Amino acid sequence: MTTLPVKALRRRLLLAFGLIATVCTVAIAYYAVQARQHVGADYTSMVADVVRSQSDPQELLMALARLEDDHPDHHAHQDELAELLLRIPRRIMNLRVQILRSDLPPQDFTPLLDEMSLMKERVETLLTRFSRARRDGLDAEEIDALRELGFEIEVGLAWSYSELSLLVQNASAGQRQLMRRLTLAVIGLLVMVLAAVGAVMLMMLRLQRQRDMMRLQSQTDMLTGLYNRRRLQEVAEREFARRRRHPSPLALMLIDLDHFKYINDTYGHPVGDAVLSSFAETLRQQVRGLDTVARMGGEEFAVLLPNTDRRAARQLAERILAATRAMALPDAAADHRITVSIGVSEARHDDSFEHLYSRADRRLYGAKTAGRDRVVSSDALTGVPRGDASPDEGRDAPERHSAS
C-alpha cells in the first residue's frame, strides 16, 4: 500500500548512483590513460636532446681523425667539422635551459652544468683555432693539437651527457612512480566519494522506508493488516470529491461479528485475535482491489465500495455472510461457528461521508436487533426510526451499476 514511494525512490537512487559511478569510472579511466601518456612529459624532450647530443663527441673525434689535407674529401670533412663545432655549443645551451627549467634538484645538476660550460668554452676555443688554422693552412702539428683538444672535449661531454641521461631517466622514473601513486590516490578518493554517496543514498532510502512504515502504521490496523478508521476517512473524502466531479454510485457496508465477546470470554483473547485476522482475510478474498476494507475498532469492520450501488453492495454482503458462516475457526474454537451482521447504505447526491456512515450504522443496528446473521440495506426493514432515509429506500431500486 505504501511501498510504491520506496520503490520509486530506490529506482531513482540506483539510477543516480549508477550515473555517478559511471562518470567516476570514466574520469578514472581518462585520468589513468592521460597519466600514462603524459607522465614524464617534462623530461621527454630533454631525454631526446640528450640522446642526440651523446653522438656529438664521437662525431667530433671522427671528424678530427679525417682532418688531413691530402684526403680527397678534406674540404668536405673540414666543413663537417666546422658545422659540428657550431652545433655542439647550441645543444649545450639548449640542454642548460631545459635543466634549469626542470624540477631536478640543483645539487644534482650543478656539477654537470659546470662541466658542460667548460666543454662549451673548449669547443669554442677549438672552433677558433680550427678556423685560424684552416685559413693559414693545416699542418701536422696543428692537427695533433686540435685532436688532443677534441679528445678532452669528447671525454668531458661523454661524461656529462652520460650523467645527465642517468639523472633524467631516474627523475622520469620517479615521476612515473609518483603519478602511479597519485592515480591510486585519485582512485581511492573517488571510491571513497562513491562510498559516501552510496551511504547517503542508502540512508535516504532507509529514511523513506521508515517514513512509509510510520505512515503505514498510522493508517493500518496492526492486528489484521487492514486499513484503520483514519485511512477509511481519507479514502472516503477522496471518493466523495471524485463523485462531485464525475457522478457515480458509492456504497458503504458496516460489519459486526456476532457474539464476539463470547469467543473472547470462552476461548481467550488470543483466539479472538486469530478469529479477527481470519475474518479480515475472508473480507479480502470477497472484495475487489478498488474497494477499501478497514477495521473500525473491536469486532466492527467497514467496506467502502466505489462504483457500486445499493443492490450490488447487498449482493456482496450476502456473499460475505455465507463466507463467514463457512469460515473455519482456530483449533480451540473449531466447533464454533461465527456470523456477522451487516448494514449497507448507498450515498445520495448531496451526501457526505458522515451521512453515509450514519445510515449504514443505523442499518447495522437494525440487523443486530432483528436477530443478527443478516444484511439490512433499507431503513424500512430495520424497525428503527428512518431519520434521513429517502422515501424510496424501502423498495428495491433499479440496479444502476454493479461492480461486485
299 in active site: yes
Residues paired with residue 341 on neighbouring β-strands, in sequence order: 256
Residue 220 is given by DSSP the state B
Sheet of 300-306, strands arranged across: 292-297, 300-306, 250-257, 340-346, 375-376
The length of the chain, given as a count of residues: 404
C-alpha cell at 91: 645543444
- Which among 282, 202, 296, 190 is positioned nearest to 253, based on CA atoms? 296
Q: How many other CB atoms are found less than 10 A from the CB of residue 80?
A: 16
Q: In angstroms, how far is CA 214 from the centroid of its own chain?
A: 25
Contact status, residue 294 vs residue 226, Cβ threshold 8 Å: yes
Computed over its alpha carbons, how large is the radius of gyration of the chain? 50
Distance CA 87, CA 59 (A): 11
- Which among 382, 370, 377, 383 is positioned nearest to 395, based on CA atoms? 377
Please measure the distance between the N-terminal and C-terminal CA atoms of the chain and give it in whole angstroms: 21
Side chain identity, residue 226: L
Q: How many other CB atoms are found less than 10 A from the CB of residue 394?
A: 14
3-state secondary structure of 391: coil
Pick the catalytic residue: 68, 141, 237, 299?
299
C-alpha cell at 261: 465477546
Distance CA 82, CA 91 (A): 15
Q: Which residues are catalytic?
A: 299
